């Protein structure tokens, strides 16, 4: 259990750090010019916290846990994390693009690439930590 908790924690630290950099750097460059009318002036903290808790838990379950199994390893981790990140971010962006009057294809493509990258990077940190703990 400790290995999964520490894997979750390591994943969370890396994901939050990278996402903070992405959001602060890209809000005015990518999002506001294209979907600014849809954006809140300041993000609402409760849904953001809920997203991060749920998403990092899902990354731990769907990417890190299978990689920790005897038939797992880095190739499984990298494939599962990238695919999960791509699918999760595609769900959000493609749904918005399909249902909203104004949604940018550039935002969709950038978000999907970001989702795959940030999820893989964060899951890699979580897997690295969890794999060093050993089964307990």
pLDDT band, very low/low/confident/very high, at 135 (cuts 50, 70, 90): low
Q: How far is residue 80's CA from residue 91's CA, in Å, rounded to a whole number?
A: 16
User: With contact defined as beta carbons under 8 Å apart, do 108 and 93 qualify?
Assistant: yes
What residues contact 84, with CB distance under 8 A and at least 6 apart?
A: 58, 59, 62, 63, 119
* 53-76 pLDDT per residue, tens: 999 999 999 999 999 999 999 999
CA angle (43 as vertex; 14, 22 as ends), nearest 5: 35
* 77-111 pLDDT per residue, tens: 999 999 999 999 999 999 999 999 999 999 999 99
pLDDT band, very low/low/confident/very high, at 46 (cuts 50, 70, 90): very high
pTM of the model: 0.95
Report the pLDDT averaged over residues 3-21: 98
What residues contact 105, with CB distance under 8 A and at least 6 apart?
A: 97
């Amino acid at each position: 259990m400790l290995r999964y908790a520490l894997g979750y924690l390591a994943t969370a630290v890396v994901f939050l750090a990278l996402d903070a950099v992405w959001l602060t750097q890209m809000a005015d460059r990518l999002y506001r010019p294209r979907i600014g009318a849809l954006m809140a002036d300041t993000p609402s903290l409760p849904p953001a916290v809920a997203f991060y808790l749920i998403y990092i838990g899902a990354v731990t379950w769907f990417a890190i846990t299978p990689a920790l199994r005897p038939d797992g390893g880095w190739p499984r981790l990298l494939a599962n994390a990238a695919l999960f990140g791509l699918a999760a971010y595609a769900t959000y962006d493609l749904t918005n693009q399909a249902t909203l009057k104004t949604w940018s294809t550039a935002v969709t493509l950038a978000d999907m690439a970001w989702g795959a990258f940030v999820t893989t990077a964060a899951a890699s940190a979580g897997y690295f930590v969890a794999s060093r703990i050993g089964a307990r």
